[in-house]
Structure 1
């Protein structure tokens, strides 16, 4: 597809910096994500850290795709049955909750987009397993990335792993190309058939961000116009990295000192890139 941008070396350097800074916001906020804190307080802390410490801009704040109202906060906080785009507010996190924090910073015009799951106190075995399998799904998708592979290979790897463990894959939301534009081509579906879709080429940058439900994949949209929940009220988890297609494979751009290590099945120097 001709409208998939191939990033220049200067773009890639800009994206490396933005990606690391996006990940460092998650490192910074980690100690605060515990029972008793409100999602609004987590948003306030992240926003302050971005602006005052990093000199970055929170990309979600006032982000307004066609047909939406402007997003009112600096981060997304998706708790329990919220799949994505949960708006921070007065919700208090409690023991057993799971929450996804989705962070995108803008530095020198480039976007660094990533998210992590946090388990509050002692979550259920199902909640822990869902988060772990979703993390593995993301990395299995990442492991497909190299020149000559196709987008369908990423979706297939994610879908197979989720289904094998009895979970479902949300289809309405997907990963996306990213650079100086927050969301651009291509769309990265988290389901699909191998050897279908666009061929991967060095210099492409996109997010892989599977949303995996413990129950069925159907969704429902809340009245705020943003928050998406599971229709059957089952738990949902999501992990996200921004990935560069290199000459030989991939480089994960959203890594920092506090990033969780890749699963054991990811081997070689690529995972440490």
Structure 2
């Protein structure tokens, strides 16, 4: 896993989800499949480029707000940077990205952004050395609530659960590397869409939810769970499963209950999927 974990975003995080959820369920064969899937879909986020941890950003949400502030100040520059690198398919031509990813569009965008990299990805915050994962769940859930129902951002929640499950089974020295890889991959995934939530919106959501907790709201969860199991899109019950677990262990923070009810729709496949797969 130390060799494979830098490729956790490969196949749009599905390999990582496959492995992490197999470990959560204690399913040996699904674990074997997840390892094979990670090896097959490997596309590194280059954690070796990360700087030494700095004091800039004492919590994941502060780091998220700092990056959002950079986008506010440099939105045109960063959007043009993303558009420029996505227009350059040379990593496919030289073999660094499998040509099949061009068909999916989304997977190519993520892999291409992470291969290029950006200095903002590698400014490693000090909190990556912490053992408490809940603040990172909070930041990722805040990001999801900025665009509720977003299919891409939902995957960052379900894959965070997977990365945590994997990291808990790694030697202590490798756990921080797992968090650093997740943070780099998260930024690359969001950047690859050519946009980032406004800091003012994230700030407002943070003020709304930072201290909000539920008292007795199990009935709300029953309704959300009941809706989730009726959904055809499999990622919705996964979202509910993860966020209910974090809600329980965080002292019933309201943000997780609210976000769990923000379901996503299955996206339409691009026309390129009408063509045969690339060998």
Same fold, judged at TM 0.5 (above): no
Q: TM-score, normalised by structure 2?
A: 0.26
Q: TM-score, normalised by structure 1?
A: 0.26
Which structure: greater strand fraction? Answer: 1
The structure with more radius of gyration? 2
